[in-house]
Amino acid sequence: MIKITLPDGSIREYASGVTGAEIAESISPRLAKEVLSITVNSEIYDLSRSIETDAHIKLHKFDDDEGKHAFWHTSAHILAEAIESLFPGTKFGIGPAIENGFYYDIELPEGRALSENDFASINKKMLELCQQDNLITRKDITKADALKYFESKGDNYKTELISELEDGTITLYTQGNFTDLCRGPHLPSTGHIKAIQVLSLAGAYWRGDESRKQLTRVYGISFPKQKMLEEYLVMLEEAKKRDHRKIGKELELFHFSPKVGMGLALWLPQGTALRDRLESWLTGELNKRGYEMVKTPHIGNVELYKTSGHFEKYGKDSFQPIQTPAEGEAFMLKPMNCPHHVEIFKSKQYSYRDLPYRMAEFGTVYRYEQHGELHGLTRVRSFTQDDAHIFCRPDQVKEEFKKIIELIQYVFKSLGFTDYRSQISLRDPDDNSKYIGTDENWAKAEQAIQEASEEMGLKPVIETGEAAFYGPKLDFMVKDALGRMWQLGTIQVDYNLPERFNLEYKGTDNQMHQPIMLHRTIFGSMERFVAVLIEHTAGKFPLWLTPQQVVLLPISEKYNDYAKKVLDLLKNYDIRGQIDDRNEKIGRKIRDNELKRIPYLLVLGEKEAETETLSVRKQGQGDLGAMSIEEFAAVINNEIKENFNN
RNA sequence: GCCAAUGUAGCUCAGGGGUAGAGCACUUCCUUGGUAAGGAAGAGGUCAUGGGUUCAAUUCCCAUCAUUGGCUCCA
């Protein structure tokens, strides 16, 4: 008998060789039906694989990541089986589970290409294979036998993968008529998959190497219930509806013109109003927290970036330097704000008492992103960072981190991002040679980041070896209304620039010391953040932020004068809006302004004019009834107050 | 930068070897209204750009540019 410890600490005894499926069955038949894979002492097993020794186990269903992984991994094999049966002679690359579904990289036989027209037949075949409920079996074979098998199939991608594996046993998984090289784990049988569908096609280089052959990547998704697939497809539709490029056009926020240049956003008046409001609000918060605003030019002498090291590292792939009539003189479009800020720092002498120096700028930078990488406002060639640099003493790093974390938490909360994750990137403990800065400073900074995160209530994921060469960092990822993750804020420690620019301050010992520099941004860039905010809110911005809080709708032009009077009064309460005095009926005005996502519509006619009231309509809720101007102002102000209080 | 698809009116899109269509938006007129589209008339396009094939190209072919979906890269 062996002892199996469940996640809750309870211990059950089974005969040696018991499988995950049998354990699940012994706990509950319902669980046995839903369980997909099992973790045995931190290794993930198939349910049919026997367990020979005492172990800690955890059973995985579709609702945890490990369960999904096995589910989608098996789905990828089904996709491959379907394609092989429909297009014999197809060669297969890799077919992993990904965050949302799975893909398989394939190479179709000569002269054959896959198009969206083939999706229906693939879907049909995949569903058929699932309904056959074929058992999935795992087989250990030798490397030589594995090579022989895939050579006989002519599958040179698989043989390449196998030949790079270590000697020893190799596992193959078979379901129905399809056998694939795979580490596993997989579902016990294909019947668990009740809904499966191809989603899209893309080209992908074999092993991500552009000098190698481009394969066809087929993306798909699958679920244990048909209804879940339907919901997923609805979510994809919803994501399309929320696409910031679409809403940006509808709400006239920004525009791209090929005549100006790709990746260069033109901010329209409404978008500018939104962005300016974000900037001025954040500036206010920065001032409260001891930051000082600075402004620096859009270009800088090439020598500056040579000193900072950016030119050497990125100059070739960047916008090329601008020549001047002077011999040998060149300027670069600013790719980073930090060298400029460093020069501001260097403009005077510092005592230890002057630190920390918190310097912030909404600084526009230019980076030559590759053509294919440009995407709406999220990937552009000119963008404005909400950048800040904090020059501090080593003993201040932790406190400064805490202050920045507090600010980031406040900003996220105020904008409705309640769900976010954080990640600390530390250096690779096995190889210190690739990092600049002393061991002592790194150790201190890494400790400071971890303590600060913990004291501020973050639960960061810690990634060792992910730090940049110049210092460790803390990144923030927010989850939007559709559950998608966006990387926004980041705080980075930098030992590199202080060294390259020879920054110093005078310590209590009357000696010069090198300050530590912290880079930090909250929004990342204004462009990207506005895009995320649009998709998160579907264009229904928080009341305090939205460019137009109210639109006044006179019933007919007889009441335009009353509307003008009301608008003036509302302005006294800092409520912003405009009058829709088009020659249209009230229903039309309501419809058009609802579509523009105006939070409050005020209907003004004879009744209202006589009683000095407003008929208030809230976006998405409809008629709230009549109110006095004072009452309405209170409604608005309360809603704004609540936004910042909860 | 690579692969694929796409590019027709301000927007969303239909069409198709014989000089171009719809809806919305726009302009003018009528209508002066009560909570998600009032009516009529009008104007608007070098069918992305440049070549080629053809009696004829917006349509077919090639190139370029841009957009979209991926890949690669990202200070």
Residue A140 is part of a domain; what is its CATH number? 3.30.980.10
The CATH number given to whatever domain includes residue A638 is 3.40.50.800
Least confident piece of the model among A165-169, A231-235, A247-251, A612-616: A165-169
Parent domain of A55: 2-61
**Contacts of residue A631, Cβ cutoff 8 Å, sequence gap at least 6:** none
pLDDT, position A318: 80
- Kindly name the residue from A389, A403, A427, A536 that is annotated as catalytic: A389
Q: How far lies A251's CA from each of A59, A271, A529, A617, in Å?
A: 48, 8, 16, 20
pLDDT band for A112, please (50, 70, 90 cuts). Answer: low
Considering the domain architecture, whether residues A264 and A321 belong to the same structural domain is answered as no
Considering the domain architecture, whether residues A353 and A498 belong to the same structural domain is answered as yes
Q: Is residue A245 assigned to a domain? A: no
- Kindly name the residue from A175, A197, A385, A423 that is annotated as catalytic: A385
Q: Is the pLDDT of residue A211 over 70?
A: no
pLDDT, position A41: 84
Q: Which nucleotide is nearest to A337 (CA to C1')?
A: B75
Q: Outline where DSSP puts E strands in A66-116.
A: 91-92, 97-98, 101-107
- In whole angstroms, B54 C1' to A111 CA is 30
Q: Is residue A244 assigned to a domain? A: no
A536 counts as catalytic: no
Alpha-carbon Rg for chain A, nearest whole angstrom, is 30
H and E: helices and strands count for chain A: 20, 35
Q: Is residue A247 assigned to a domain? A: no
Q: Is the pLDDT of residue A110 over 80?
A: no
Select from A398, A538, A535, A402 the least CA-distant residue to A478.
Answer: A535
Q: Is residue A122 assigned to a domain? A: yes
A398 counts as catalytic: no
Least confident piece of the model among A23-32, A342-351, A442-451, A622-631: A23-32
Q: Is the pLDDT of residue A646 over 80?
A: no
Q: Is residue A636 assigned to a domain? A: yes
Q: Is residue A624 assigned to a domain? A: yes
pLDDT, position A111: 59
Considering the domain architecture, whether residues A583 and A627 belong to the same structural domain is answered as yes
Considering the domain architecture, whether residues A93 and A49 belong to the same structural domain is answered as no
Q: Which nucleotide is nearest to A314 (CA to C1')?
A: B75
Cα gap A320→A309, rounded to integer Å? 16
A379 counts as catalytic: no
A367 counts as catalytic: yes
Cα gap A354→A271, rounded to integer Å? 38
pLDDT, position A575: 95
Considering the domain architecture, whether residues A161 and A110 belong to the same structural domain is answered as yes
Considering the domain architecture, whether residues A427 and A523 belong to the same structural domain is answered as yes
- In whole angstroms, B22 C1' to A424 CA is 56
- In whole angstroms, B29 C1' to A444 CA is 78
* Total number of domains constituting chain A: 5
pLDDT, position A210: 65
pLDDT band for A542, please (50, 70, 90 cuts). Answer: very high
Q: What is the pLDDT of residues A117-175, one digit of tens each?
A: 677 788 888 888 888 888 888 888 888 888 888 888 878 888 888 887 776 778 888 88
Alpha carbon of residue A612 to chain centroid? 49
User: What ipTM does this complex have?
Assistant: 0.89
Q: What is the pLDDT of residues A8-37, one digit of tens each?
A: 888 888 888 888 888 888 888 888 878 888
Sign of CA dihedral A144, A145, A146, A148: positive
A387 counts as catalytic: yes
Q: Is the pLDDT of residue A216 over 90?
A: no
A392 counts as catalytic: no
Considering the domain architecture, whether residues A213 and A154 belong to the same structural domain is answered as yes
Mean pLDDT along residues A226-238 = 83
Nucleotides of B under 7 A from a protein CB: 1-4, 11-12, 26, 30-38, 65-75
- Kindly name the residue from A68, A519, A536, A617 that is annotated as catalytic: A519
